[in-house]
Structure 1
Amino acid sequence: MSLNETYVTVFGRVGSDPDLKERGHSPHLSFRLASTPRQFDKNLGYFIDKTTTWFQVECWRQLAQNTADSVQLGQPVIVAGKLRTHEWKDDNGEPRSRLVLEAFAIGHDLNRGTASYTKSALRSSETSTSEVTATPFPADEYSVTSLPLAADAA
């Protein structure tokens, strides 16, 4: 993590079809996320919806591919990531900006339903010709060192 970055976790529903594209050699996925808080109104006796906040969610690499294979329009999800501002100029040369939630984790909200998990296979660009060892973590995330099975009796 870096200092002065804004990390958030947002509960919401997928508000647009996830759009998967290849950028260079990395998959990139984006979708809109709608987060609508609910509040109990004592006078009415039921919950009312407050104003919806919309986020543009973006993710890369294996998270992008797994999200494309798992998430659909309307599903309840939890997205954790950092906020960043995307700036550009429109066709008239006017400066524009929008807030983007750059995700590092996305999952279904299990308060709203059930899910099943399937471990994804490594992409062909992530495999190598070197010897493959069995580890509980993907090779690109953690280094693996062997631990001795028995103490030396010296």
Structure 2
Amino acid sequence: MSLNVVTLVGRVGGDPDVKYFESGAVKCRLTLAVDRRSRNQDQPDWFNLELWGKTAEVAANYVRKGKQIAVTGSLKLDYWQDRGSGAQRSSPVIVVNNLELLGSKRDDEANSHNQGEF
């Protein structure tokens, strides 16, 4: 038996990067900051998310930097060859199957007002 399921809850690190393809497909990339369950929470763990189709459209329309979301998906590794050194590189990506928007409308309004204060 094999199982590849990832569930994360965190805050979005930046506005969605959305691409529309001639085929009609939609792809969205996000970063997600997730706090670790430990006493020494100095820095969050950062995850790269990839969303497709209707899920990508929802993210494009409703998700912004700082928004709290929950995602369920699977882990994949993207591979490429480094242009400078020619070395094989890889990066983990969470392919999202389910996206839940968390927090209240008040949280969203507070985030939008705080955006200009940085």
TM-score, scaled to structure 1: 0.61
Q: Distance in 1 between matches of 2:49 and 2:66?
A: 14
Unmatched 5+ stretches in structure 2: 106-118
Q: Distance in 2 between matches of 1:66 and 1:22?
A: 14
Unmatched 5+ stretches in structure 1: 41-47, 116-154
* Residue 29 (structure 2) pairs with residue 30 (structure 1): yes
Shift of 1:17: 1.4
Q: More relative contact order in 1 or in 2 (CA 8 Å, sep 6+)?
A: 2
2:6 equivalent in structure 1: 8
Shift of 1:8: 1.1
RMSD after superposition: 1.7
Equivalent residue letter for 2:8: V
Picking from 68, 89, 92, the partner of 1:96 is: 89
Give the structure with the larger helix fraction.
2
TM-score, scaled to structure 2: 0.78
User: Secondary structure of the equivalent of 1:49?
Assistant: coil
Aligned residues: 103
Q: Distance in 1 between matches of 2:45 and 2:10?
A: 9
Does the 8 A contact of 1:5 with 1:83 survive in 2?
no
Matched residues, percent identical? 30
Q: Which has the larger radius of gyration?
A: 1
1:106 equivalent in structure 2: 99
